[in-house]
Chains A and B, each alone.
Chain A
Amino acid sequence: QQQVKQSPQSLIVQKGGISIINCAYENTAFDYFPWYQQFPGKGPALLIAIRPDVSEKKEGRFTISFNKSAKQFSLHIMDSQPGDSATYFCAASTDKLIFGTGTRLQVFP
């Protein structure tokens, strides 16, 4: 049973475009929703995170939108750059992180 569902599996975006990755969860006890970025040969690294008491959090070009009633949250990458090409994981946590299945993002010049 996949507690955190992530889509799409892969995403191709033109440089300067907007990348959007979506996640949905089941467990209403989750109280922390981070996004991780992973480059080949590296471990995942925390990109941005949100708690369910806010609907949006922005850090630079990265924004999390959170819809508590729909149990969905998404990552928006504005002005996508080739250096953003990586695998992105959403996750949700109570006392431990449960990850989505990942999205491979490719940004072409």
Chain B
Amino acid sequence: DADVTQTPRNRITKTGKRIMLECSQTKGHDRMYWYRQDPGLGLRLIYYSFDVKDINKGEISDGYSVSRQAQAKFSLSLESAIPNQTALYFCATQGENYGYTFGSGTRLTVV
């Protein structure tokens, strides 16, 4: 099993719909992150969590929300999806040595 698992891998949704992207990890790390990847823009931080009770906004949090259900689970929600949220979304965890482990990503298309 992968250390960081994201579901779904691909999703097409309609404008205005609510959608949740899920992330689970088996590494036992406290720190988890959600990034968005767009061509030419790199990876931009949406939200991050340093433990179950800690949630922080990243540089592009508008239109998104998160839930840290347990140490191993960190979900990203789009309350009302819009087309410019079409992107590749990555979840990551961070270990003690600063290294990040990324999931394989969720490709989201909003039509």
Contacts and interface: CB of A to CB of B under 8 A. Distances in A.
Interface of A: 6, 9, 32, 34, 36, 41-46, 49, 89, 93, 95-102
A99 B99 contact: no
Nearest to A4: B42
A43 B103 contact: yes
A43 B40 CA distance: 16
21 contacts: A9-B40, A32-B98, A34-B98, A34-B99, A36-B100, A41-B104, A41-B105, A42-B105, A43-B4, A43-B102, A44-B43, A46-B100, A49-B99, A95-B50, A96-B45, A97-B33, A99-B35, A99-B42, A99-B44, A101-B40, A101-B41
Contacts, number: 49
B43 A89 contact: yes
A97 B100 contact: yes
**Interface residue tally on B, bucketed by range:** 20 to 34
Contacts of A34: 98-100
A32 to B, nearest CB: 5
B90 interface: yes
Contact of A6 (B42, B44, B45, B102): B42
A96 B43 CA distance: 12
Nearest to A98: B45
A34 B97 CA distance: 12
Chain A contact residues, majority secondary structure: strand
A44 B98 contact: no
Nearest to A31: B98
Q: Which of A43, A46, A99 has the most CB of B within 10 A?
A: A43
B58 interface: yes
Contacts of A102: 40, 42
B93 to A, nearest CB: 11
A71 B98 CA distance: 20
B42 A42 contact: no
Contacts of A49: 98-99
